[in-house]
Amino acid sequence: MATMTQKGDTTCLTKLSDLNALATKSGKKKLAVAVAHDEHCLEAICAVDKMGLVQAILVGNEKKIHDIAQRLKLDVSGMKIIHEEVDANSVKIAVKMVRDKQADILMKGNVPTAVFLRGVLDKENGLRKGEVLSHFALFEVPTYHKLLGLTDAAMIPAPDFKTKVALTSNAVDFMNKLGYSKPKVAVLAAVEMVNEAMPATIDGALLSKMAQRGQIKNCIIDGPLAYDNAVSSASAKHKGIVSEVAGDADLLIAPDIEAGNILYKAFGFSSNAKLAAVVLGAAAPIVLTSRSDTEESKQASIVMAAAI
């Protein structure tokens, strides 16, 4: 059962399963999978295919795809398979399908991330759209009252301020498409006070002011906020922080990839959080999952990409 609610002027998603209803409403999407001869990838694709949310196009070694399907008892009979044994060529074919509007979503299969992204970022034939490709994850954390977004935990090592503006805009735009008219964005730092010796606090203050002035649209941003202030209203109250975002954040902006990745892994491995993740900033959503992500997370990532 979906648990979407309205809170103020924005949608509030409380379970990752809420994405199923959004994807159903959005209609079946075509999913192009590069180097699709991968067990975990095929398992996730077949699970979402059974839900009627995607129509998969598998690009890769046809024999290996059928061997995996037979071994795992997966039904790929209704899926289009394009045989290609060279990984880089498989990526080019899948990318071209998305670029030519023959597919709506791109997914990475059994191919090194560097090879995959090289095809995505190709200046002439890739999917580059904005200035920055960034990673966005949506978590169902058992101790939090709604879904919680996080960027960037996987793509950009040390974003400067201009890059933080871009990755924030990427995530806000995606959340807008999920139904959040004004997601509440917390820019994380170690403390909630601006300190010139701590660049993350300055970035948080500038992003907040840019949102107030309409330079970053369709969201409410506050920062800097320490993590406890962002997700705990009791902590914010104790520290005397008056904010629409504090204690009720929809999206967290990490100061760098180390902080983002630690949060990402801590949510999953220490808090038993469920997650969905995509790469944003290209001409279409990209499902690029980690080897450590669960099958449930990979399925949810496909569904989230199909929900917009």
The candidate with the shortest Cα–Cα distance to 125, out of 103, 156, 97, is: 97
Check residue 9 and give its pLDDT.
Answer: 43
Give the pTM: 0.92
The candidate with the shortest Cα–Cα distance to 284, out of 22, 13, 17, 31, is: 31
SS3 of 218-236: the string is CCEEEEEECHHHHHCHHHH
Check residue 1 and give its pLDDT.
Answer: 37
- Domain 26-129+282-287, CATH among 3.20.20.70, 3.40.50.12780, 3.40.109.10, 3.40.718.10: 3.40.718.10
**Cβ–Cβ < 8 Å for 113, 132:** no
Q: What is the helix (H) or strand (E) element at residue 98, kind and residue range? A: helix 87-99
First-to-final CA distance of the chain: 19
pLDDT tens, residue by residue, 4-30: 555 444 567 999 999 999 999 999 999
**DSSP assignment, residue 148?**
E
**Whole-angstrom Cα distance, residue 12 to residue 117?**
32
Check residue 128 and give its pLDDT.
Answer: 86
Check residue 123 and give its pLDDT.
Answer: 86
**Whole-angstrom Cα distance, residue 246 to residue 239?**
11
Check residue 3 and give its pLDDT.
Answer: 54
Residues 6 or more apart whose CB falls under 8 angstroms from that of 54 comprise 28, 29, 30, 31, 45, 48, 105, 302, 306
Architecture of domain 134-274: 3-Layer(aba) Sandwich (3.40)
Structural domain boundaries of the chain?
Answer: 26-129+282-287, 134-274
Q: What is the CA radius of gyration of the chain?
A: 19
Please determine whether the domains at 26-129+282-287 and 134-274 fall in the same fold group of CATH: yes
Check residue 248 and give its pLDDT.
Answer: 97
Check residue 12 and give its pLDDT.
Answer: 74
CB atoms within 10 A of CB 70: 10
Spans of the chain, pLDDT less than 50? 1-2, 7-9
